[in-house]
């Protein structure tokens, strides 16, 4: 599947207001489905689908009938997704927070399936044909990617409201594949705050600190917003204008992080045949309030998600390994050298190795990944206590690679890593 996003342009304020009404109606249907599930024991997904038709015919909620029938079903599917996720977590005793389905208050999207809209032949305009009659909008897409796909390939459409306007996201039935030139290059990366990541070859990528660079403008904008807030009264138009400015600043930071994560992940995957990274539990790391903002600003999770995605379409091997002891262990002799967070240099008292702590950790991450890959190729995974399925967020992907080819790639590296030498 492929997602193509286009902005809805050249619409009147009344047209955008009708889109907003469709979003609110989808939120109403979802919340009604959640309430129906709470009040009726044994409710199934099919029951929620039937409820959509009941709400459309109800005289007390005539606006529900304006929303396209498939859009109502999509809202019921959203409610059932939250319910199914809750059931799944209830069966897992290791998860403490079960995530009971909640009522939505500020939904920002409505999802259509096949009907409810019509695309122009040149894919430059879209017309919404449901009961809200939002009308025709121009589609602005920088890559003009919609021209290359037929209407049959477009499975779903989602209208999303953001701080700077309304967007259309098209879900396209297309399997993306890229040609990758295999060179036998392997790499392990250690994610950090000082440098965004350090690889096992000693190369580093700087941390952009997007939020830190925008912090001054954000503080100034949020100070103005707080001054215009009137407690217990209806907020003025100036308040809402300033609220939009603050939201746009946050949206800009979010887009900068995403763009940087995509570019760094793609460059990493294109230049290597095997990528090993540490599966960090970011949700636990941000509980440290002294580092929470910096960790969130680094967007490690988003970066690793894009590494996994590009690894799949480039058909290369990507391994996530547990991060335990990668910083403490010496990459040459294996001795444990404890360090504080402020200690940036690894100095081993046994073998006298002196390395940057992130460089040392990256080598350990690569060695651990090669070890697990070797066990996978030898068929011993699961018998040595290193089953990738038991790592939580960790995973192991092998794509379109002959096992013998992978063995020829890994075996010489494993033999050298066991002697304390990782190829540069």
| Whole-angstrom Cα Rg for the chain | 26
Torsion of CA 134, 138, 143, 147, to 10 degrees: 80
**Nearest CA to 25 among 62, 77, 59, 54?**
62
Burial status of residue 16 (CB atoms within 10 A of its CB: 0-12, 13-18, 19 or more): middle
Quote the pTM value.
Answer: 0.83
pLDDT tens, N- to C-terminus, the chain (424 residues): 788 889 999 889 999 999 999 999 999 999 999 999 999 988 899 999 999 999 999 888 888 999 999 999 999 999 999 999 999 988 888 888 888 999 999 999 999 998 899 988 888 889 999 989 999 999 888 656 777 778 888 889 999 999 989 999 998 888 888 888 888 888 999 998 988 999 888 889 999 999 999 999 999 999 999 999 998 889 999 999 999 999 999 999 999 999 999 999 999 999 988 899 988 888 888 888 888 989 898 999 999 999 999 998 888 888 888 888 888 888 888 888 888 888 888 888 888 888 888 898 899 888 888 888 877 777 665 433 344 344 333 345 444 444 445 455 544 444 433 433 333 3
Give yes or no for a contact between 307 and 269, defined as CB atoms under 8 angstroms apart.
yes
Taking every pair of Cα atoms in the chain, the longest distance, rounded to a whole number of angstroms, is: 81
d(CA 299, CA 247): 19
Enter the DSSP assignment of 235. Answer: P
């Amino acid at each position: 599947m492929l997602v193509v996003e286009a902005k809805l342009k050249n619409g009147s304020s009344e047209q955008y207001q009708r889109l907003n009404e469709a979003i609110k109606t989808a939120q109403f249907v979802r919340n009604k489905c959640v309430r129906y599930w709470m009040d009726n024991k044994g409710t199934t997904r099919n029951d929620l689908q039937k409820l959509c038709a009941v709400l459309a015919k109800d005289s007390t909620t005539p606006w529900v009938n304006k929303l396209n029938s498939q859009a109502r079903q999509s809202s019921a599917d959203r409610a059932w997704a939250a319910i199914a996720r809750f059931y799944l977590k209830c069966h897992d005793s290791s998860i403490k927070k079960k995530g009971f389905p909640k009522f939505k208050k500020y939904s920002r999207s409505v999802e259509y399936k096949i009907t409810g809209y019509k695309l122009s032949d040149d894919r430059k305009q879209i017309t919404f044909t449901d009961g809200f009659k939002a009308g025709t909008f121009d589609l602005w897409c920088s890559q003009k990617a919609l021209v290359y796909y037929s209407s049959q390939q477009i499975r779903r459409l989602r209208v999303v409201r953001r701080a700077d306007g309304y967007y259309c996201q098209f879900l396209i039935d297309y399997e993306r594949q890229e040609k990758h030139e295999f060179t036998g290059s392997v790499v392990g990366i250690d994610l950090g705050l000082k440098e965004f990541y350090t690889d096992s070859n000693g190369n580093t990528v700087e941390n952009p600190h997007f939020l830190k660079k925008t912090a001054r403008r954000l503080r100034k904008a949020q100070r103005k917003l707080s001054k215009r807030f009137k407690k217990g009264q209806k907020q003025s138009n100036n308040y809402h204008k300033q609220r939009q400015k603050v939201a746009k600043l946050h949206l800009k930071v979010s887009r900068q992080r995403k763009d940087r994560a995509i570019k760094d992940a793609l460059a990493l995957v294109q230049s290597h045949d095997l990528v090993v990274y540490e599966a960090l539990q970011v949700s636990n790391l941000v509980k440290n309030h002294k580092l929470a903002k910096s960790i969130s600003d680094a967007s490690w999770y988003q970066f690793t998600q894009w590494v996994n995605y590009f690894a799949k379409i480039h058909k290369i091997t990507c391994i996530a390994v547990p991060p335990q002891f990668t910083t403490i262990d010496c990459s040459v002799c294996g001795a444990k050298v404890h360090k504080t967070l402020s200690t940036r240099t690894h100095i081993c008292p046994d073998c006298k190795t002196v390395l940057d702590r992130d460089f040392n950790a990256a080598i350990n991450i690569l060695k651990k990944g090669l070890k697990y890959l070797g066990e996978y190729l030898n068929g011993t995974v699961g018998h040595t206590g290193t089953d990738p399925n038991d790592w939580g967020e960790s995973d192991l992907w092998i794509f379109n690679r002959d096992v013998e080819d992978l063995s020829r790639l890994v075996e010489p590296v494993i033999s050298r890593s066991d002697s304390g030498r990782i190829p540069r």
